[in-house]
Chains A and B, each alone.
Chain A
Amino acid sequence: MHIVIIEDNVDLCFAMALLLKHNGHQVSCFNLKEDFLREMDNIKEIDIFIIDVNLPDSDGLELLDDLKLYFEDSVYIVISAYTDMIYIAKAYGLGADDYLKKPFEIEELLLKIKKIETDKGALNLVKIDNIYSFDLENRVLYNNNSLVSISANEAEILFILLQHNSNVITFEELSQAIWRKIVPNNTINVAIKRLREKLETQIIYTVHNVGYMIRA
């Protein structure tokens, strides 16, 4: 996950970034609100913000309030040495998802990140039937908990069909979405046949002469 830390304590910022990178995350550190705002346009997707309440150039809670307008889908963890309920309540009131009191344990931070990761994963995971599920974000197909090896085009076909769950996707629509041009129906039929061969159950339905559909 991409985690942005906005924290003026340089040492703490370095330690948190090192810890999170060591645990497989991409981390960007900023010590001032202005530093982040300068870089904001260059950062595409942010999964988690960790924001200190006390920044030299801004109130972290006001920054949280502003950022929520631009990064609606991000998760916000407020970090502070303030343990008064008034700060905690204000943070939650402004839309913080979690509050981390300083000083904190390594495990406490990692558990919070893990929970967010699990929740985000659950949101992206579509259950197709009793056997199969599909991770929409990472385009990954699972047979129960085991990963099913499918090609990029096959994953894209499943993605398109699941996005239009229970609706027919025409040959033309599939063609444009996957190959970015009109391809013969037979090309699509072959791709679907290969995908079906990798599956134990029938999850893709043929709508004769029209296209395909999935019912998840």
Chain B
Amino acid sequence: MSSKQVNCINPMATHEIKNILSSAKLSLEMLTTYDFDSEDRKKLTLQAFDSVNQLISVFEELLKIEISTKD
């Protein structure tokens, strides 16, 4: 069961997820750690949201693939 789950996400998708996750994670961590000026805070917040949205899209696509494979 677990090995099948691992194989469901191909290496390219994993790479893309980690890439998007890294900017979201870094932006959020920076917002909580440093007191940047409002412009930089706004940009970091927007890009964190944007990264989360991109992640949702990637997972939606993966879910579609998963469902179509099962069908």
Contacts and interface: CB of A to CB of B under 8 A. Distances in A.
Q: Are the chains A and B members of one assembly?
A: yes
Interface of A: 9, 11-12, 14-16, 18-19, 22, 54, 81-82, 102-106
A9 B27 CA distance: 13
B26 A81 contact: no
A54 B22 CA distance: 14
Interface of B: 14-19, 21-27, 29-30, 33-34, 36, 40, 43-44, 47, 50-51
Given A103-B26, A106-B29, A14 B21 contact: no
The 5 closest A-B pairs by CB, nearest first: A81-B18, A103-B22, A102-B22, A11-B23, A12-B23
Given A11-B47, A103-B24, A106-B26, 13 more contacts: A11-B27, A11-B51, A14-B47, A15-B26, A18-B30, A18-B40, A18-B44, A19-B26, A81-B14, A81-B19, A81-B22, A102-B21, A104-B25
A54 B24 CA distance: 18
Contacts of B14: 81
B33 A106 contact: yes
Nearest to B29: A106
A54 B18 CA distance: 13
Given A14-B47, A15-B47, A102 B19 contact: yes
A82 B15 CA distance: 6
Contacts of A14: 43, 47
